[in-house]
Structure 1
Amino acid sequence: MKEYIEERAVAIANYIIANNATVRQTAQNFGVSKSTVHKDCVERMNEINASLAAEVRKVLDINKSERHIRGGLATRKKYLQKKY
Structure 2
Amino acid sequence: MSNNVIDDRATRLGEYIVENKATVRRAAKQFGVSKSTVHKDVSQRLKYIDSGLYKDVKNILAVNKAQRHIRGGLATKKKYESLK
For 1:70 and 1:5, how far apart are their aligned partners in 2? 31
For 1:75 and 1:32, how far apart are their aligned partners in 2? 26
For 1:52 and 1:22, how far apart are their aligned partners in 2? 15
Identical aligned pairs, as a percentage?
51
The number of residues matched between the two structures is 83
- Where in structure 2 are the equivalents of 1:28-39 lying within 5 Å? 28-39=29-40
For 2:36 and 2:16, how far apart are their aligned partners in 1? 16
TM-score where L is the length of structure 2: 0.96
Unaligned runs of 5+ in 1: none
- Misfit runs of 4+, over 6 Å: none
Q: Counterpart of 2:17 in structure 1: which amino acid? A: I
Unaligned runs of 5+ in 2: none
- Aligned counterpart, 1:77: 78
Q: Counterpart of 1:72 in structure 2: which amino acid? A: G
